[in-house]
C-alpha cells in the first residue's frame, strides 16, 4: 500500500512561480494542508507500526513529511528520485512570464519537460520507475512528493499512457491510495 501526498502550498505556488527543484517554504495555508494530510492519514492507518515515510529531499516536501511524521510518530527517509522535475532555465520564472515568452506552451501539459537545460520526460520517468520498482508489493509506504512526480508515480503504478499521466490532478489537499493496481483519492479536511 502506498499513500501518496503532494506537499502543501508554497510561497512559489502562491506567486505562480515555477519551482522545479528549487526550494520554497510552505505558506501558512501549506502548513495547514500538511497537518490536514497528517490527520487524514492518521484516520486511514490504524497502527503506524511497520509503515515508512519516504519524501523528496526538497524543503517543501520535508516540511510536509515532518508534519505527517510528528502526527504518526514515524521517521522520514529522503530519496532524491522522488524530487520534482528539473525545468532547467525556466526555474524561478513566473508562469505568466514563461507563457508571454513562449505562448505556444499554453495548454501544453508537457511544457515542464521543454525547458532549456531541464530534465526530459523519459529521464524523469526512469528515475521514478527505479524507485517504484524497488518497493516491496506488501510494503506500507507514505510518500511525500510533488505535482509532476506524483503524476508519473501514479501513472506508472496504474499503467497509464503519457497523456493520461499528465492529465492527472495534482491537489494539495488530498491523498492518493495506491493498492492492488488501483488508485483511490482521499479528501482531507479543508485547510482554511
CATH of the domain at 97: 3.40.50.1240
Active site residue 84: yes
Number of helices (H), then strands (E), belonging to the chain: the values are: 7, 6
Per-residue pLDDT at 192 exceeds 70: no
Q: Look over the chain and give the mean of its residue pLDDT values, rounded to a whole number.
A: 96
Residues 54-90 have pLDDT tens digits of 999 999 999 999 999 999 999 999 999 999 999 999 9
Whole-angstrom Cα distance, residue 138 to residue 145? 21
**Percentage above 70 pLDDT, the chain:** 99
- The answer to the question of residue 192 being in a domain is no
Q: Where are the alpha helices (DSSP H) in 102-176?
A: 121-133, 147-158, 162-166
Number of domains in the chain: 1
Q: pTM of the prediction?
A: 0.95
- Domain extent, residue 134, equals 2-187
| Residue 61 falls inside a structural domain | yes
Catalytic-labelled residue, pool 84, 86, 119, 146: 84
Amino acid at each position: 500500500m502506498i499513500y501518496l501526498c503532494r506537499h502543501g502550498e508554497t510561497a512559489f505556488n502562491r506567486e505562480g512561480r515555477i519551482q522545479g527543484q528549487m526550494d520554497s517554504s510552505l505558506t501558512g495555508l501549506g502548513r495547514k494542508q500538511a497537518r490536514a494530510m497528517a490527520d487524514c492519514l492518521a484516520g486511514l492507518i490504524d497502527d503506524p507500526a511497520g509503515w515508512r515515510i519516504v519524501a523528496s529531499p526538497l524543503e517543501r516536501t520535508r516540511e510536509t513529511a515532518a508534519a505527517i511524521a510528528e502526527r504518526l510518530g514515524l521517521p522520514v527517509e529522503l530519496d532524491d528520485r522522488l524530487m520534482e522535475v528539473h525545468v532547467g532555465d525556466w526555474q524561478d520564472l513566473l508562469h505568466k512570464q514563461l507563457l508571454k515568452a513562449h505562448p505556444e506552451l499554453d495548454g501544453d501539459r508537457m511544457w515542464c519537460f521543454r525547458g532549456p537545460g531541464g530534465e526530459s520526460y523519459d529521464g524523469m520517468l526512469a528515475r521514478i520507475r527505479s524507485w517504484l520498482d524497488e518497493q516491496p508489493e506488501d510494503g506500507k509506504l507514505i510518500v511525500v512528493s510533488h505535482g509532476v512526480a506524483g503524476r508519473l508515480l501514479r501513472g506508472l503504478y496504474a499503467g497509464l499512457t503519457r497523456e493520461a499521466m499528465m492529465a492527472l490532478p495534482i491537489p494539495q489537499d488530498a491523498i492518493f491510495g495506491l493498492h492492488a493496481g488501483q488508485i483511490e483519492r482521499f479528501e482531507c479536511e479543508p485547510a482554511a
